[in-house]
C-alpha cells in the first residue's frame, strides 16, 4: 500500500479523505474478487485512521456473519470471537447503526466475554462503524489498536466518513456477485433447456413418437432413475455420444 496519501490533521476531513478515496476507487476497479477488493479497503482504513494496527470488514447478511479483507490474523481472530461468543462492537454497530469506540479493552465493560478473549491477542483498542447503504445495514468496518487511548474524536469522524464509502463498495460488490450468480443460473437453465430438447429429439427418433410422447418418456425415466429432468436428459444425450465413439 505504498504511495497512498496519508491523513493530514490540518485539512478539513472531506479534503483529507478525497485523495484516499480517489486512490481507493482506482485500485478497486482493477481487483478481480470481492475478497481482494475488501482487502484494499481494509488496508486503507488501517493507514487512514491514526493509531490503527489492523482493520477489516464484517459482512452480516442472510448468509451469516463473516470477515473479509482482514489485514492480519489477529483481526480475523478478534472478529471470529465476536461471531462465536455472539457479542462485540461490530455486531452492536451493525445492529444499532451507530459507531462504537472502545478506548481500553481492559476497562470497557460492555462486552466482557469478548474483551477477555481478545486481550491475549495483544489488542487494547477498537472502533467499529456501521456500513449502511440505503435502508440496509451491511455490516461494519473496524480498526484495532495495540495501545489504549489512541482513538479520538478525529478518529471517529474519519472512520464514519470511511464507512460511508465502504458501504457503497460492499453494496456494489454484493450486487456484482448477485448478478454473477444470476448469470450463472441463467446459463445453466439455458444449457438444461438445450439438453432436454436434444434428449427429446433422440427419443423421438428412437421410438418414432411425437414431441409430447418423447417428453412423457423422459419423465418416466426420471421417476424410474430418481433423477431430475436435466440429469435424465443428459444421460440420454451422453448415450448417443458414447455410441458414436
- Dihedral sign of CA atoms 147, 149, 154, 160 in order: positive
- Once rounded to an integer, what is the mean pLDDT over residues 23-52? 72
Query: How would residue 184 be classed by pLDDT, with cut points 50, 70 and 90?
Result: low
Cα–Cα distance for residue pair 55/74, rounded to 1 Å: 9
Give percent of the chain with pLDDT exceeding 70.
Answer: 76
- Whether 106 has a pLDDT exceeding 90, the answer reads yes
- Once rounded to an integer, what is the mean pLDDT over residues 171-193? 62
- Once rounded to an integer, what is the mean pLDDT over residues 75-84? 97
Can you give the residue ranges of every domain in the chain? 13-179, 181-244
- Once rounded to an integer, what is the mean pLDDT over residues 138-151? 96
Superfamily of domain 13-179: GAF domain (3.30.450.40)
User: Which CATH code is given to the segment(s) 181-244?
Assistant: 1.10.10.10
Please give the model's pTM, rounded to 2 decimal places. Answer: 0.65
Give the model's pLDDT for residue 62.
80
Per-residue model confidence as pLDDT tens digits over 39-74:
887 888 898 899 999 999 999 988 899 998 899 999
Neighbours of 175 (CB within 10 A): 11
Nearest to 54 by CA among 72, 80, 76: 72
- Once rounded to an integer, what is the mean pLDDT over residues 197-203? 83
Give the model's pLDDT for residue 229.
82
Give the model's pLDDT for residue 6.
46
Give the model's pLDDT for residue 98.
96
For residue 235, how far is the Cα from the chain centroid? 37
Gyration radius (Cα) of the chain, Å: 26
Alpha carbon distances (Å) from 241 to 214, 232, 244: 19, 15, 5
| 51 burial via Cβ count (<10 Å: 0-12, 13-18, 19+) | middle
93/68: higher pLDDT = 93
Amino acid at each position: 500500500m505504498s504511495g497512498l496519501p496519508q491523513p493530514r490533521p490540518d485539512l478539513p476531513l472531506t479534503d483529507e479523505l478525497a485523495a484516499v478515496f480517489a486512490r481507493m476507487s482506482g485500485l478497486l476497479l482493477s481487483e478481480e474478487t470481492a475478497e481482494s477488493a475488501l482487502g484494499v479497503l481494509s488496508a486503507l482504513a488501517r493507514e487512514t485512521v491514526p493509531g490503527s494496527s489492523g482493520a477489516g470488514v464484517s459482512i452480516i447478511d442472510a448468509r451469516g456473519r463473516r470477515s473479509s479483507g482482514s489485514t492480519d490474523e489477529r483481526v480475523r481472530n478478534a472478529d471470529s470471537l465476536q461471531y462465536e461468543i455472539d457479542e462485540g462492537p461490530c455486531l452492536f454497530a451493525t445492529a444499532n447503526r451507530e459507531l462504537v469506540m472502545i478506548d481500553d479493552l481492559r476497562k470497557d465493560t460492555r462486552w466482557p466475554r469478548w474483551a477477555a478473549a481478545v486481550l491475549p491477542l495483544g489488542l487494547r483498542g477498537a472502533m467499529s462503524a456501521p456500513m449502511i447503504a440505503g435502508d440496509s445495514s451491511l455490516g461494519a468496518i473496524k480498526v484495532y489498536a495495540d495501545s489504549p487511548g489512541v482513538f479520538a474524536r478525529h478518529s471517529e469522524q474519519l472512520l464514519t466518513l470511511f464507512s460511508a464509502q465502504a458501504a457503497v463498495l460492499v453494496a456494489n460488490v454484493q450486487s456484482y456477485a448477485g448478478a454473477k450468480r444470476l448469470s450463472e443460473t441463467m446459463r445453466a437453465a439455458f444449457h438444461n433447456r438445450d439438453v432436454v430438447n436434444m434428449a427429446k429429439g433422440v427419443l423421438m427418433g428412437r421410438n418414432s413418437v411425437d414431441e409430447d410422447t418423447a417428453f412423457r418418456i423422459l419423465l418416466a425415466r426420471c421417476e424410474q432413475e430418481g433423477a431430475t429432468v436435466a440429469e435424465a436428459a443428459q444421460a440420454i444425450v451422453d448415450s448417443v455420444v458414447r455410441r458414436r465413439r
